Amino acid sequence: MLFNSSVFVLFFLIVFLLYWFVTNKNLKAQNILLLISSYIFYGWWDWRFLSLIIFSSILDYYVSILIENETNQKKRKAFLLISMFSNLGLLGFFKYFNFFTSSFAQAMSTIGWEVDTVTLNIILPVGISFYTFQTMSYTIDVYRKEINASKDIIAFFTYVSFFPQLVAGPIERASNLLPQVERKRVFNEKWFNQGVLQVSVGFFRKMVIADNLGVYVDTVYANPDYYNSSTLLIATLFYAFQIYFDFSGYSDIAIGSAKMLGFKFNRNFNLPYFSKSVTEFWRRWHMSLSFWLRDYLYISLGGNRKGIKIMYRNLMLTMLLGGLWHGSSWNFVIWGGIHGTVLCLEKFTFEKLQIKNLGVFGMIYTFIIVLIAWVFFRATDFESSIFIIKELFSFNYGMPFIGDINVLFNAISMLIIGIGIDIYLFKSNHTLEDIGGFIKKPILIVSVSVLVMLIILFYSTTNNFIYFQF
């Protein structure tokens, strides 16, 4: 089920009414409603893959209890490894089987050994990367004795499958979300107002800004060799904002929907294109994934505790694996490698030169690095990526491809509004949640009404969220 569909609006309205007006006096009934609703939400796409979520939930629920009750460290570690290998095994099979077999065959062909590979027509379950990381973090936290294992199976299953963040995050830690699932929730008008505003902005960011930009981007990136440097530059700039407004829009809808149901998620985006370094960019972009990679991969590899060389190795491995997490393509690995290389260089030079802030120059240089890396993220294959990079630096600039002037005008106009909102948030140091909490109800109603009108007038097409593919 897509957020940006009339089906979801009706679905959420029904869940909301049942949640607050029918099951509101019984916590277990509320959680059962959320669990069933979440399974319906996910099963709407393909009910067969519900078995994967249920398997992961059962596995980590019981394994974590075994870990908590076990005093022998070797057995505790064995239980943890069972969880990790099982979850990563499922993720690896569905997401990377064909990628690794084809890559192996290509590598062997370079030395003259032709290998017959077995490739399967494997459908990637939506959201498997997100809920796998979420359940793994829970088990690891129990192993590290940072949280207690849940004894409420309904609450735990609800935590794993909670529909606002099920298919594309944010990746919520058990330490934040699970206690909220386990305790009684009461309707909060301020939270409701905050949620309504954030959901409305999220729909605007996705359906009006991102989808209109995507029409131009998809046209150009489908056949990049047809276009000159000017067109490729515009398409790449548009993609940088498309993916930001697409994914931050999804996060807004997820966070806002959850808040309307009485749950507070952690922030997932913090105006990343205002970052003054790539290091800062990763503290602002897809924050739930960034912090997950830091806490469960980088630190587990040794972090910065084993010397400078090992620290750089750990940082690079983290970003390479973070790139691979996004998809089974060498382009994603290269994208992660670009960010990893720049992060290592920044760490070295900033510490050596004692640089803390590069100011406006830092914003410009960071955006350029991020923009170049986005080419590999968006292009359909490695050859297309290299062609586009070469064209961008060949300075073969002339009149760009315009396409449908109405689509282009709508995209640019709405992009200006979207950037204007972000500039206001940056300068005022407010979040959407802050604004939703302190503006008066008449202004809130007008603001939401204007956003809804813009969505109705300017949305171009209903596309999947970009991060659904990960």
Catalytic (active-site) positions: 326
By the 8 A CB rule, do 199 and 292 touch? no
What distance in Å separates the CA atoms of residue 326 and residue 332, rounded to the nearest whole number? 7
User: Is the previous residue joined to 272 through a cis bond, with omega within 30 degrees of 0?
Assistant: no
What distance in Å separates the CA atoms of residue 247 and residue 373, rounded to the nearest whole number? 17
- State the burial class of residue 11 (Cβ atoms within 10 Å of its Cβ: 0-12, 13-18, 19+): middle
Q: HEC states along 249-265?
A: HHHHHHHHHHHHCCCCC
The token pair at 268 is 């997932």
By the 8 A CB rule, do 374 and 240 touch? yes
Which residue is listed with tokens 């986005």?
A: 374
Angle of helix 359-378 relative to helix 229-260, nearest 10 degrees?
Answer: 90
Q: Residues 6 or more apart from 250 whose CB is under 8 A from it?
A: 3, 168, 202, 206, 465, 467
What distance in Å separates the CA atoms of residue 229 and residue 239, rounded to the nearest whole number? 15
Half-sphere exposure of 26 (CA within 13 A, CB side): 7
Residue 153 to residues 15, 59, 134, 449: CA-CA distances in angstroms? 21, 11, 16, 41
| Cα 445 to chain centroid, rounded | 29
What distance in Å separates the CA atoms of residue 275 and residue 298, rounded to the nearest whole number? 22
Q: Residues 6 or more apart from 470 whose CB is under 8 A from it?
A: 129, 130, 168, 325, 326, 327
